[in-house]
Structure 1
Amino acid sequence: MSAKLEASFFEKIKKLLQEAQANAVKQVNSIMVSTYFEMGRQLVEQEQNGNHEAEYGAYIISELSRRLTEEFGKGYSKRNLELIRKFYITYKNAKSPISQSLSWTHYIQLMRISDENERNYYQHEAETNHWSVRELDRQINSGLFQRLAYSGTKKAGKPQGEADKQFLNYPLQAIKDPYVLEFLNLEDRYTYSESQLEQAIIDKLEHFLLELGKGFTFVGRQVRFTFDEEHFRIDLVFYNRLLRSFVLIDLKIGKLKHQDLGQMQMYVNYYDRYVKTADEMPTIGIILCKDKKDAMVEITLPKDNKQIFASKYLLYLPKEEELKKLIEQE
């Protein structure tokens, strides 16, 4: 048997075991989630069958925690049993049933969200995109739901109540405002250039693709094109397979100017006329800037604009109150 064949054989066995381990973890997670839901149901029913005073519910949690810890060891603290009870109450009549592909730790994060529509959105995205607990936590903390709902409502002119029903009605509701780039580790007060911002994005490209959203693939940086013997460069070029269109990104660390919008319009026109194929959708242009005024953007761009967008970027995870204030200011 050759060394090459041995290596191939080893990789097959290794892959087989890795898949078995992954499936075992999924099964354990599924059983745990189902068991905790049933435990929560029985806890609530026991409370309802007994004394309805709050002290009785607290007594059940405390006594059950003590006995389960004696029998099974760690993992059954009063806090955890309270979460299990809350899990049942939260999901017993939920529009989105519990998913067997998400772990108990995922659900601990999801139960932080009181609004059901928002919680359903994050649950669906975590399940569809295989988000880790860490990624789910980041998306919640960065206000992804609010940013997309706000951007989609504003750009599409839809009533606020309808924004979450067709969250990603591409392309209008695929563009966020603001984008949160805390993973770049660029201090907000630090003086940096546009080339440094670009390099930081390239260094953290995987994180940036997650922040951009669904379907994005990286095409190139400083992509050059020429006409009338003049050379032009686009900071970042992506392609979105869901939109079936190119997405051009220009980075601006200063205040957005109307000339920047005109420049992006030229970039988009060039791609529409000379790069995209007939079966592809129109090119999207995003100017990612530190500061912008929506009035100037609306006056500069055509009323029926569906291709060029200006979005702020933040270099830190905003607090909920801060994000709400930012959206209200916009």
Structure 2
Amino acid sequence: MTRRRSSVASPAAPSALLGDIRALIEAARKHAASTVNSELTMLYWRIGQRIHTQVLDGRRGAYGKEVLPTLAAQLVKEYGNSFAEQNLRRMVQFAATFPDEQILVSLIRELSWTHFIALIPLKDPLQRDYYAQMASAERWSVRTLRERIDSMLYERTALSKKPGETIAQELATMRDAQRMSPALVMRDPYILDFLGLRDTWQEGDLEAAIIREMESFLLELGAGFSFVARQKRIPIDDEDFHLDLLFYNRKLRRLVAVELKVGEFKAAFKGQMELYLRWLDKHEREPEEASPLGIILCTGKKREQIELLELDKSGIHVAEYLTALPPRGVLVERLQQATQRAQLQIEQRKTDNE
């Protein structure tokens, strides 16, 4: 007599167990992919460095031009098109652009080879270092990195208006101590083309549009911002004041007050913002936090007034906002003029202190 096999189905795996195992598998795959990416990027750097130092240096330039195509042909035959002549030249550029291996090792934990391809064309070392450090710290995708470069984010930061030595020092602090300064975060101008404002509008329209497009606004504000309140009530004596927008920045570990203005900056705005900041410092700041900062967003700036008021000493940043992205040439010229003005101010301060 033969026994029939049971037709009872096997019990289904518990959904929680299945979910946990899937998460473990996905995490392991992601880690493996990240490790492979880091190893490949390091390999490309070492190949580029070897060619750069032993073949393409100044004394052997002609020889390098002859040997590189031959070297590429041999490598392609054995290892594939990843080592074609054009790619080898890019690896040489990579090694020449990022000569410090220790800094590179810290970057490749978060940045892929494609990130570095986007960074290599940047000629200004400080500009390139800024984008590399920010992309690593904020875990930007390649697409986000390219968008930030195209929008001239570095040139719009307060940092870019400082002396070269100060910029290098603040970027080194960010890299080594994982700490950002306000100059790394603050921008001018802010580009708010995503708000969809046309023709004329009031401050209330601007505020409502920002609330509606809060996610995009937070991205434009910069790293570490989170929304706290709209029309924050500030009771002083027997009066109620209302701050337009209140944010917290976890990178800076401080509250950031934002006032929205339609029209040019006026000196009276300083007193209003100072009042808000001192109230926030007294009533809202936690013991471990730094003093609150203020941002006054205007459609125009009176630069001599801002300079004479020394707003930076009060923790106040005045910036213009643009509701439409201007042509790149116009934006480049505008930012170049702002940088030149900042440099002249720095030189004037040095002269006054001598």
TM-score (norm 2): 0.74
CA distance in 2, matches of 1:194, 1:233: 13
Equivalent residue for 1:156? none
CA distance in 1, matches of 2:274, 2:196: 29
Is the radius of gyration larger for structure 1 or structure 2? 2
1:252/1:67 Cα in 2 relative to 1: closer, same or farther (>3 Å)? farther
Q: Is the 8 A contact 2:72 2:88 kept in 1?
A: yes
Q: 1:310 aligns with which of 306, 310, 318?
A: 318
Q: Is the 8 A contact 1:96 1:120 kept in 2?
A: no
Equivalent residue for 1:164? 168
Equivalent residue for 2:142? 133
Map 1:135-154 onto structure 2 (within 5 A).
135-146=144-155, 147-151=157-161, 153=162
Query: Is residue 2:39 matched to residue 1:31?
Result: yes
Q: 2:337 corresponds to which letter in structure 1?
A: K
1:95/1:311 Cα in 2 relative to 1: closer, same or farther (>3 Å)? farther
Q: Deviations over 1:193-215 (max 9, x none)?
A: 43443344344444443443444
CA distance in 2, matches of 1:26, 1:183: 35
TM-score (norm 1): 0.78
Q: Deviations over 1:265-317 (max 9, x none)?
A: 23223323333345543322110122111222344x46783322211234538
Query: Is residue 2:336 matched to residue 1:324?
Result: yes
Equivalent residue for 1:86? 93
Higher helix share: 2
Q: 1:245 aligns with which of 224, 230, 254?
A: 254
Q: Is the 8 A contact 2:126 2:167 kept in 1?
A: no
Query: Is residue 2:18 matched to residue 1:10?
Result: yes
CA distance in 2, matches of 1:15, 1:296: 57
Q: Match of 1:96, SS?
A: helix
Q: 1:96 aligns with which of 93, 103, 126?
A: 103
Query: Is residue 2:150 matched to residue 1:176?
Result: no
Mind listing any 5+ residue stretches in structure 2 that lack a counterpart?
1-10, 343-354
Q: Is the 8 A contact 1:179 1:211 kept in 2?
A: no
1:164/1:204 Cα in 2 relative to 1: closer, same or farther (>3 Å)? farther
CA distance in 2, matches of 1:29, 1:208: 32
Q: Deviations over 1:165-200 (max 9, x none)?
A: 13578765355241433562647x754443443344
% of aligned pairs identical?
32
CA distance in 2, matches of 1:24, 1:32: 12
Equivalent residue for 2:234? 225
Please state how far the C-alpha of 1:230 moved relative to its aligned partner. 4.4
Q: Is the 8 A contact 1:148 1:177 kept in 2?
A: yes
Q: Deviations over 1:13-65 (max 9, x none)?
A: 2321221221122012112112212322343366359x9454x5444444455
Q: 1:306 corresponds to which letter in structure 2?
A: S
Q: Deviations over 1:147-167 (max 9, x none)?
A: 23245x3xxxxx553243135
Number of residues paired by the alignment?
Answer: 320
Please state how far the C-alpha of 1:136 moved relative to its aligned partner. 2.3
